[in-house]
């Protein structure tokens, strides 16, 4: 399943339905070239995420740094942390993405599994993320369990849910036992605070991108100084607030181009651009096409 321009909630939490209430698990194949701008923009979700590269190479950006992953490699992204995914070179780079709620590993509330193996690690900034490579034994074991989960989900034989959860538990246990956190104590707390602050800034941008945005308005809303807002945002995302604002405006414009018949001039003002020409130049720079070329080449929603 490919989800172009995955839906993002106002707080930048991804709103994609990951499985169901009865089985909160989803596995899908994502090709980056199918997203406007060729990226999955900064977002977060309550689910734990396992990624496994099928083709090409992807760059996974988080507050703690960047991971470049090639074919057969993967990563763990913990619950609640902002991240962005982009191609290293090939825009058609493809990866399997597994998302599941931490409670799937608890089996039932207040269980020993929840107390010992889930609660201490899920959402813990010291365990924000890790690359997975074949050369490291615990990482190779984790990759093997992820491949098993992908295989079981694709085949969906009777009882596959049990086998998927067993594979996820194997992968999670391997990660929590093998991973050695680099950040502890005050540095881990500082990382968590930066993540929360960047989430607040992105949330505000999502609500107000169509308006006249200034650093002063953002700073007042999130209760940091303008300079601190800029510093925190760059520390987490390695981009400026206004670079991100432009990217989000372009992605919203791409959604309107696919889903409506509104003229480009109206879409420009709907998305906060000062003029149609400003939209066209920004769109061409980020997407590589003009808005009209993108509309003609995109399948109707």
Domains of the chain listed by start with CATH number:
25-178 (2.60.120.280), 186-297 (1.10.10.60)
Q: Report the range of poorest mean pLDDT among 94-108, 188-202, 271-285.
A: 188-202
Instruction: Determine contact, residues 175/130, Cβ cutoff 8 Å.
Output: yes
**Short-list 82, 94, 105, 97, CA closest to 18:** 97
What is the mean pLDDT of the segment spanning 49-73? 96
Q: What is the CB neighbour count within 10 angstroms for residue 75? A: 26
DSSP string across 120-158? TTTT-GGGSEEEE-TTSHHHHHHHHHHHHHHHHHHH--T
d(CA 53, CA 70): 6
Give the pLDDT band (50/70/90) at residue 155.
Answer: very high
Look up residue 279 and give its two tokens: 């939209």
d(CA 301, CA 296): 12
In this predicted structure, what is the pLDDT of residue 301?
Answer: 46
Half-sphere exposure of 91 (CA within 13 A, CB side): 9
Instruction: Determine contact, residues 193/72, Cβ cutoff 8 Å.
Output: no
pLDDT digits 0-9 by tens, 217-273: 999 999 999 999 999 999 999 899 999 999 999 999 999 999 999 999 999 999 999
In whole angstroms, what separates CA 301 from the centre of its chain?
A: 22
pLDDT digits 0-9 by tens, 177-224: 999 987 555 566 677 888 899 999 999 999 999 999 999 999 999 999
In this predicted structure, what is the pLDDT of residue 8?
Answer: 47
């Amino acid at each position: 399943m490919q989800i172009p321009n995955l839906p993002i909630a106002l707080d930048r939490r991804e709103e994609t339905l990951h499985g169901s209430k009865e089985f909160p698990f989803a596995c899908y194949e994502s090709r980056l070239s199918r997203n406007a701008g060729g990226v999955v923009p900064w977002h977060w979700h309550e689910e734990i995420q396992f990624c496994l590269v099928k083709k090409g190479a992807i760059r996974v950006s988080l507050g703690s740094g960047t991971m470049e992953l090639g074919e057969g490699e993967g990563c763990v992204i913990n619950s609640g942390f902002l991240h962005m995914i982009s191609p290293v070179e090939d825009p058609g780079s493809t990866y399997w993405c597994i998302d599941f709620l931490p409670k799937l590993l608890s089996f039932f509330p207040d269980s020993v599994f929840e107390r010992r193996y889930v609660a201490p690690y899920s959402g813990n900034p010291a365990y924000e993320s890790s690359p997975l490579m074949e050369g490291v034994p615990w990482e190779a074991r984790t990759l093997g369990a992820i491949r098993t989960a992908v295989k079981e989900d694709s085949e969906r034989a009777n009882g596959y849910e049990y086998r998927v959860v067993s594979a996820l538990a194997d992968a999670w246990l391997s990660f929590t036992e093998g991973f050695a956190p680099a950040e502890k104590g005050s540095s881990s707390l500082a990382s968590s605070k930066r993540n929360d602050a960047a989430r607040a800034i992105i949330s505000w941008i999502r609500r107000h991108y169509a308006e006249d945005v200034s650093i002063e308005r953002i700073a007042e809303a999130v209760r940091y100084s303008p300079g601190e807002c800029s510093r925190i945002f760059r520390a987490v995302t390695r981009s400026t607030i206004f670079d991100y604002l432009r990217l989000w405006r372009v992605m919203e414009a791409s959604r309107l181009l696919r889903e409506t018949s509104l003229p480009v001039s109206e879409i420009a003002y709907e998305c906060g651009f000062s003029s149609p020409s400003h939209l066209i130049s920004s769109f061409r720079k980020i997407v590589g096409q003009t808005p009209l070329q993108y509309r003609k080449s995109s399948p109707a929603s």
